[in-house]
Chains A and B, each alone.
Chain A
Amino acid sequence: MSRDLLLKIELLSDPKALYVVRGAVGRLAETLGFAAAECRSVVRAVDEALTNVMRHCYCGRLDQPIELYFRRLHRRSKAGRQKGLEVLLCDRGPAVDQAKLRGQKPGELRPGGLGLQFIRQAMDAVDYERVGHTNRLRLVKYLPSEKVHRGHEERS
């Protein structure tokens, strides 16, 4: 699997930035070839992940750092060659209690926990790790497979 950095965004934990980030992520997903519904899914996942950081890791403080890295992914599988988008979201809040990462059951009538459900529905992979003093949430979305033909060079 290879990764090329496409975009890096640094922002503060002010919810007013969400609107701007959604715009950028939507355009990026579009240029990578995602269909309209998939673009909306990626935008929703990133927006909900940022919202969780702002609310739960930084407890509503507006001046805390968040970094987003967007990388192009390539992988080969039995189905063929797949391109995708990896989003790495980094914050400096306290470590996340993984027991709280379960989210809400679909159809459950209570406010809260929906964001994680939306993220899991939207993405192909969602991984969390703590590295030093940083929380890292990794989101991955793949495009549909392309068949690999002999003699064709893989292009990025």
Chain B
Amino acid sequence: MQISIRRVNNATIVDVSGDIDLANSPEMRKALLHEVRDDRKPRVVLNLSQVRYIDSSGVASLVEGLKASRDSGSRFILVGLSGAAREVLQLSRLVKVFEIYDTEVEALAV
């Protein structure tokens, strides 16, 4: 898994690629919570378009990011879900819980 972080206007975009599993989901969790909780960014956009696999620990990290954003009054947005990411969120029935957009442009426009 690789993580890179970009700033666009007042938003932070976190690009994640590869497989997210127990070996690396703590790293993603740490990065997300840092942006949401510590840096208090008003909008954190997580780009999952290049994710090949995501397990329950990865989904749990997304849930933690969402909860932290609700606590801090910011927005936590998922964008460009890969087939693997969408399938897992559908299985967990969490698709409707997250704010999800197809493209980064849409996520930044709303």
- Physical interaction between A and B: yes
A44 at the interface (CB under 8 A from B): yes
A115, B61: Cβ atoms closer than 8 Å: no
A48 CA / B58 CA spacing, docked (Å): 11
Among B69-110, those with CB < 8 Å from A are 84, 87-88, 91-94, 97
B32-62 contact mask (Cβ, 8 Å, vs A): 1 or 0:
0000000000000000000001011101110
In the complex, the chain B residue whose C-beta lies closest to that of A51 is: B22
B23 at the interface (CB under 8 A from A): yes
Chain A interface secondary structure, helix, strand, loop or mixed?
helix
Known A44-B55, A107-B97, A109-B97: A54·B60 in contact at CB below 8 Å: no
The segment from A14-22, A72-80, A94-102 that touches chain B is A14-22
Subset of 19 A-B contacts with CB under 8 Å: A15-B21, A15-B22, A18-B55, A40-B84, A47-B21, A48-B55, A51-B22, A51-B56, A51-B57, A106-B93, A109-B63, A109-B66, A109-B67, A109-B94, A109-B97, A112-B60, A114-B59, A117-B91, A118-B92
Q: Which residues of A contact B (CB under 8 A)?
A: 15-16, 18-19, 22, 40, 44, 47-48, 51, 54-55, 106-107, 109-112, 114-115, 117-118, 121
Give the number of A-B contacts (CB < 8 Å): 63
A67 CA / B26 CA spacing, docked (Å): 25
Known A40-B87, A107-B92, A109-B94: A16·B59 in contact at CB below 8 Å: no
